Structure 1
């Protein structure tokens, strides 16, 4: 089964099983470099985001995930690449910048790991650095309900509803030092994610197509 076939199957599944609603799909540019930044409440996040997004997302995945042969095969098929979270991973940065230079989409969970109860923590500045160096906008995405679909310690998917909130693109600031730009951009992203966290999904929002 090809990646695109699997993506279509998963999109149909989550549309039926989780009644997924998406707000802000029109904010996703269909061409050009893009960095998707999202909160990370569940192991399912990259898979569900990949199914929902009309573009192919190349996720930065923790290096530990590549230790399992089966998971590594799937991640590589999906175009993901490893990042060592305990240090500045120059190789991962180079891969991400190369993908952006080719006009592709890079997906990052800047909290540095899965966080319980959708609680936002301080964001690492890697996404901001890539946006500045790769001259790419950031697309903020907030996932609601993922922690109830697969609570930590559970092995079964629950038929809970999921809402995906997508905000407008954030472009890197043009003035200031690299450090100042990174700090400002990271703060902007955090503010938007916090705003999305408090939003109540509206009736009639777009449901993911099968």
Structure 2
């Protein structure tokens, strides 16, 4: 058993009862092929929550500073996280994300690039649109609703795969594509 699977079991055993997690739409996540999960970002706990509520193994980009510690950085790498430099077009991280998707895996992204301090959706960065346009991955919007207060309900909603063909045919840019993805996340949050 891989460290990712062990961590998923442990975190699930703690998080599901602690945050009373309810998952809606898990059946919308394709069982095979490349997938991009795009979620709003309200807490540092969002990546493990997306990881445990997803039937697939998820690879995450994480801010470079988290990898400064050899111990913690090594642990993050073993559970499929890889570093990204924020505020610049990090070619190494972009190549790694493309590689993950071309290998048929699942890439978890937070289009806003950082946590929302208010809980409201922020403006998306172009990165998620870049991955959606440059690969054949299915894009699944995800909305995390609620608070991370113990024994309060936290809901994770997965939407249906987005049809990216229209955006690709219209030669949409990465920013425009990211905005379209954020609109789908907003629809899930508004339900």
Q: Give the TM-score taking structure 1 as reference length.
A: 0.84
Question: How far off its partner does 1:140 sit?
Answer: 0.5
What stretches of structure 1 of length at least 5 have no aligned partner? Answer: 151-157, 200-210
Cα shift readout 1:132-154 (whole Å, capped 9, x = no counterpart): 11121211101112xx326xxxx
How many correspondences in the alignment? 188
CA distance in 2 between partners of 1:192 and 1:93 (Å): 23
Contact 2:67–2:73 (CA under 8 A) maintained in structure 1: yes
Q: Which residue of 1 aligns with 2:120?
A: 119
CA distance in 2 between partners of 1:32 and 1:54 (Å): 13
CA distance in 1 between partners of 2:185 and 2:119 (Å): 11
CA distance in 1 between partners of 2:154 and 2:5 (Å): 22
Question: How far off its partner does 1:71 sit?
Answer: 2.2
Q: Give 1:162's match in structure 2, choosing from 143, 151, 154.
A: 154
Contact 1:37–1:107 (CA under 8 A) maintained in structure 2: yes
Question: How far off its partner does 1:181 sit?
Answer: 4.1
CA distance in 2 between partners of 1:87 and 1:58 (Å): 20
Q: Which residue of 2 aligns with 1:40?
A: 41
SS in 2 for 1:117: coil
CA distance in 2 between partners of 1:66 and 1:32 (Å): 28
Q: Which residue of 2 aligns with 1:174?
A: 168
SS in 1 for 2:48: helix
Q: Which residue of 2 aligns with 1:187?
A: 179
Question: How far off its partner does 1:78 sit?
Answer: 0.8
CA distance in 2 between partners of 1:14 and 1:63 (Å): 26
Contact 1:118–1:144 (CA under 8 A) maintained in structure 2: no
Question: How far off its partner does 1:183 sit?
Answer: 4.1
SS in 1 for 2:163: coil
SS in 1 for 2:168: coil
Q: Where do 4+ consecutive residues of structure 1 move more than 3 Å?
A: none
Q: Give the TM-score taking structure 2 as reference length.
A: 0.92
What stretches of structure 2 of length at least 5 have no aligned partner? Answer: none
CA distance in 2 between partners of 1:7 and 1:40 (Å): 19
Question: How far off its partner does 1:195 sit?
Answer: 1.3
CA distance in 1 between partners of 2:37 and 2:184 (Å): 13
